[in-house]
């Protein structure tokens, strides 16, 4: 393991970075077919950026519109050395001020952990990048513990098997690498995301040219405040993934992205997928559950959707509410849209949002339009489980 986890010297400690870009320029002229042009325009690069100097009017058979000139003069595009490219990556990262901070990354390609965000990169010829041949998972970091690490690790290994991706190390070695990556990050509260891919090699469709499978992991600290306010959801018009792909957690998330964007365009938090038979399936990256008027917790079956680790943990914790008389029962079965919209409470469940109450679905108000009391109880149970649950769901980090 020592050879696998040897720490590379952070790029920020290298004093020999040249900063002057090498001069390199050429011109490129591209004229699209079947268009006529009037006027003159110019796009040019200057110090790493480009702008349209003029516009041409392009007339086609059915429309006239102003677009940038396609006769492009490219100049001042530097040919960078490796150290110059890395220096620019560092500058790029330093200028990003998002709510997420990347504290540490492991890569089996360079065989170690780095805490320099500029070095947190994946080879462009990795099959995960250009063919989507990769799987991933995420575990929450809470108070210095990884929550449900083993459950998430088991799932990524199942996903890798379904995606026909060999694993670069055995399960226990992967587990140690993930824990050491969090330890190096010094992060006490955040998330650990990790990928298994077919690995780099070439740009062919088949992974037969990939040299070896790859493991990547990154520790993320999210500065966004936690929000448990009730949300609106809509029914997704984006086709649901077929079960073979929906039940594995692969990096092919374009349908999920489009579904989330569709929701945001309608001022909603998420869009709900229906399966091929019209039953309720899942959200773009979370499971869905309901509390019926009979006070039963109902969740769609996992045979056609992703088996959510947090959702399954909610089912376990909910059994305690049955024993206490707060719930009459817990069921996992097909749920119709009509049943879902008539429920007393609705919630989304996932490692990123934990348990989030839903107060409106399309135009239908759920229950009394307020955050459900049992939804709040389940959220509190998950939060308490993350803080003081049994060793089976909490893996300590040796900082």
User: Nearest Cα to 207, choosing from 164, 156, 170, 251?
Assistant: 164
Contact between residue 215 and residue 195 where contact means Cβ atoms under 8 Å apart: yes
207 exposed, middle or buried (CB, 10 Å; 0-12, 13-18, 19+)? buried
Q: Count the neighbouring beta carbons within 10 Å of the beta carbon of residue 337.
A: 16
Contact between residue 105 and residue 221 where contact means Cβ atoms under 8 Å apart: no
Q: Give the integer Cα–Cα distance in Å for 110 and 222.
A: 26
35: Cβ contacts below 8 Å, ≥ 6 apart:
58, 59, 60
What is the full DSSP assignment across 5-23? TPPPPPGGG-S----SPBP
| Active site positions, annotated | 249
């Amino acid at each position: 393991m020592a050879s696998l986890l040897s720490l590379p010297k952070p790029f920020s400690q290298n004093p020999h970075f040249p900063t002057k870009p090498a001069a390199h320029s050429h011109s490129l002229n591209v004229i699209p077919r079947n268009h006529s042009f009037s006027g003159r325009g110019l796009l040019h690069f200057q110090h790493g950026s480009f702008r349209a100097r003029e516009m041409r009017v392009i007339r086609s058979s059915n429309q006239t519109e102003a677009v940038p000139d396609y006769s492009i003069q490219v100049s001042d595009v530097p040919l960078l050395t490796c150290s110059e490219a890395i220096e620019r990556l560092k500058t790029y990262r330093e200028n990003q001020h998002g709510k997420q901070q990347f504290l540490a990354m492991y890569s089996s390609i360079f065989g170690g952990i780095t805490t320099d965000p500029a070095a947190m990169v994946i080879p462009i010829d990795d099959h995960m990048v250009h063919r989507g041949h990769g799987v991933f998972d995420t575990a929450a970091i809470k108070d210095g513990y990884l929550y449900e690490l083993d459950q998430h690790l088991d799932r990524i290994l199942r996903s890798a098997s379904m995606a026909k991706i060999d694993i670069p190390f055995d399960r226990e070695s992967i587990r140690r690498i993930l824990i050491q990556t969090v330890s190096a990050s010094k992060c006490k509260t955040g998330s650990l995301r990790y990928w298994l891919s077919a690995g780099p090699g070439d740009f062919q469709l088949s992974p037969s040219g990939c040299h070896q499978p790859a493991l990547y992991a990154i520790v993320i600290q999210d500065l966004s405040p936690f929000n448990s306010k009730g949300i609106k959801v809509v029914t997704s018009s984006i086709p649901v993934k077929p079960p073979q792909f929906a039940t594995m957690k692969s990096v092919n998330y374009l349908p999920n992205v489009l579904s989330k964007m569709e929701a945001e365009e309608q001022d909603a938090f998420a869009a709900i997928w229906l399966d091929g038979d019209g039953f309720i399936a899942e959200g773009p990256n979370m499971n869905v559950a309901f509390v019926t008027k009979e006070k039963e917790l109902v969740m769609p079956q996992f045979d056609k959707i992703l088996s959510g680790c947090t959702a399954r943990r909610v089912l376990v914790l909910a059994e305690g509410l049955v024993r206490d008389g707060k719930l009459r029962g817990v069921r996992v079965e097909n749920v119709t849209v009509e049943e879902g919209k008539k429920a007393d409470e609705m919630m989304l469940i996932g490692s990123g949002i934990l348990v989030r109450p839903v107060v409106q679905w399309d135009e239908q108000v759920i229950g009394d339009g307020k955050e459900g009391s049992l939804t709040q109880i389940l959220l509190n149970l998950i939060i308490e489980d993350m803080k003081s649950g049994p060793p089976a769901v909490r893996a300590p980090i040796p900082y």
